[in-house]
């Protein structure tokens, strides 16, 4: 009886330690949370404040709208720098910029909270070999619209918003944090 109890306590300690190690493996703050409604519970993916391209766990899953929620509130003296999240969708081997959001931090009662501004058009496009700056013109304007949002601040930034294509479902196959 005592041996079984000791084994259980030892196994619990090992699992708790392993879980703590895994939880600490990526302690980069969450900049935003991307989600969609499906089934009983929303499906969510953290967008961490690590620069670079990340494959979306929702790749190949078109949705009528996506929700972008604020991530971690940061407790520090100075505001974190502005960032840009660029979302991409794939069509076969073609990767297209879907839209981008500027992320700035606003002072809240508990620290700096991320807020989002939908940029009028994607800043970069895939030319078949690399990402290049998009030249603004009428034909390339982003058709993503804000569908529902929390109240905006004076500069038009939202702490949470739903967005989607005006013409129908869109998919988010990857994103890049700049």
pTM over 0.75: no
Determine the 3-state secondary structure of 138 from DSSP: helix
Q: What is the pLDDT of residues 6-28, one digit of tens each?
A: 444 444 444 444 444 444 446 88
Hey, which residues does 168 pair with through a beta bridge?
165
Q: What is the pLDDT of residues 34-55, one digit of tens each?
A: 999 877 888 999 999 999 999 9
pLDDT at position 168, please? 86
Question: Per this entry, what is the length of the chain?
Answer: 178
Of 38-42, 124-128, 132-136, give the lowest mean pLDDT range: 132-136
pLDDT at position 173, please? 95
Two tokens at 122?
A: 């994607």
Hey, which residues does 78 pair with through a beta bridge?
none
pLDDT at position 26, please? 63
pLDDT at position 58, please? 93
């Amino acid at each position: 009886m005592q041996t079984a109890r000791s084994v259980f306590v030892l196994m619990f300690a090992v699992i708790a330690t392993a879980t703590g190690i895994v939880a600490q493996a990526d302690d980069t703050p969450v900049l935003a949370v991307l989600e969609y409604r499906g089934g009983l519970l929303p499906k969510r993916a953290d967008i961490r404040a690590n620069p670079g391209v990340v494959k979306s766990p929702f790749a190949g899953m078109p949705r009528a709208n996506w929700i972008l929620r604020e991530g971690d509130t940061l407790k520090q003296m100075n505001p974190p720098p502005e960032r840009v999240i660029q979302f991409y969708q794939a069509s076969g081997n073609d990767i297209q910029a879907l839209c981008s959001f500027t992320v700035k931090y606003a002072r809240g009662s508990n620290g700096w909270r991320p807020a989002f501004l939908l940029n009028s058009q994607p800043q970069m496009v895939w030319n078949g070999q690399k990402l290049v700056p998009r030249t603004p013109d009428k034909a390339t304007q982003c058709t993503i619209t804000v569908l529902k949002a929390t109240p905006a601040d004076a500069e038009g930034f939202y702490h949470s918003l739903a967005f989607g294509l005006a013409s129908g479902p869109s998919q988010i196959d990857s994103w890049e944090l700049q």
